[in-house]
Amino acid sequence: MTGAAIVTGGGRGIGRAIGAALAERGHDVVLADLDIDAATASAEALGPRVTAARLDVTDADAVTALVEATAARHGRLAWMVNNAGVGVAGAFDATGLDDWRRAIDVNLFGVVHGCRAALAVMRPAGGGHIVNIASGAGLAPRPGMVAYAAAKHAVVGLSTSLRAEAALDGVTVHAVCPGYVETGIMDRTAWRGVDGAKVVAGIPIRGVTPEKCASVVLRGVRRDRAIIPVTAVTHLEWRLYRFAPWLLGPVFRARARVFRRHASDASDAP
């Protein structure tokens, strides 16, 4: 499918890698990011098909304006990749309401805004792909990341439910659940009442590269998968939690104990 692509949170990590992969496949790509310096640097590195735009995905009007302008400039919008997200971690009672609002505003409503704007231009054009970056935390419990997991579960539910509606207009909707990808998001996560460095140091698996993640995402879209788990661990955990959730109870409790073990002396929740 020819046409332009918008990737939110495109300045780095998974967003940048997906933007690069789409440009390689002949699409004109807009890397949209609140950090315009990161988006600009990535666009310049990826070549003439890639441009940068500053975007706050919590601003519905701004998202709509960018989508409409991109569709008008390039003739059609073929891909909308709703990737922008923020991390928040810590025990439930150490996570403040401001953290909850931020997690939901960016991780959920940012996706809602992107879906609404994209559908409005894709329906009349007869098709397109909407790719919502959720998380492994959207497929199974994540003690110590309750606010983040709640938002990502919502993204999965949004995507799978919208998928049936959008299909009537030739638009495919996909929920991507990456798992552990080496993007540096842990460094930008808001850690509340816990020593994040110690938690990260204890993660027993190695993440895949953003480029590998992008490859899996595009293959999943090509195969029209509703849910696209990226890593083998995420895929296994998803299957086990669906069919034998009792098997994972000890795993989730062990994760909860990790956060409790590395709790800081005082909560820094707002």
Structural domain count of the chain? 1
Catalytic residue positions, numbered: 148
Can you give the CATH number for the domain in which 38 is found?
3.40.50.720
Least reliable range by pLDDT among 81-95, 97-111, 190-204 = 190-204
Q: Determine contact, residues 146/94, Cβ cutoff 8 Å.
A: no
Q: What is the pLDDT of residue 266?
A: 42
Assess if residue 179 is contained within a domain.
Answer: yes
Average pLDDT in the chain: 94
What's the pLDDT tens digit per position in 231-261?
999 999 999 999 999 999 999 999 999 999 9
Assess if residue 33 is contained within a domain.
Answer: yes
Enumerate the β-bridge partners of residue 32: 8, 53
Assess if residue 270 is contained within a domain.
Answer: no
The whole-number average pLDDT for the span 102-109 is 98
Can you read off the two tokens belonging to residue 154? Answer: 């919502």
**265: pLDDT strictly greater than 70:** no
Assess if residue 267 is contained within a domain.
Answer: no
- Measure the CA–CA gap between 155 and 176, rounded to whole angstroms: 9
Assess if residue 231 is contained within a domain.
Answer: yes
Q: What is the pLDDT of residue 183?
A: 78
Give the other-Cβ count within 10 Å of 219's Cβ: 11
Q: What is the pLDDT of residue 201?
A: 82
- The DSSP code sequence of 169-194 is TTEEEEEEE--SBSSSHHHHSEE-SB
- Measure the CA–CA gap between 125 and 58, rounded to whole angstroms: 26
Assess if residue 210 is contained within a domain.
Answer: yes
Assess if residue 268 is contained within a domain.
Answer: no
Assess if residue 141 is contained within a domain.
Answer: yes
Tell me the residue range of the domain where 42 lies: 4-261
What's the pLDDT tens digit per position in 142-173?
999 999 999 999 999 999 999 999 999 999 99
Q: What is the band of 264 on the pLDDT scale with cuts at 50, 70, 90? A: confident
CA dihedral 207, 211, 214, 216 (to 10 degrees): -60
Can you read off the two tokens belonging to residue 47? Answer: 């070549």
**203: pLDDT strictly greater than 50:** yes
Identity of the amino acid at 116: R
Q: Determine contact, residues 94/193, Cβ cutoff 8 Å.
A: yes
- Identify the CA nearest to 118 among candidates 131, 126, 130: 130
- Measure the CA–CA gap between 103 and 110, rounded to whole angstroms: 10
**What contacts 55, CB < 8 A, 6 or more positions away?**
8, 32, 33, 34, 62, 63, 66, 84
Residue the block writes with tokens 């960018």: 66
**182: pLDDT strictly greater than 90:** no
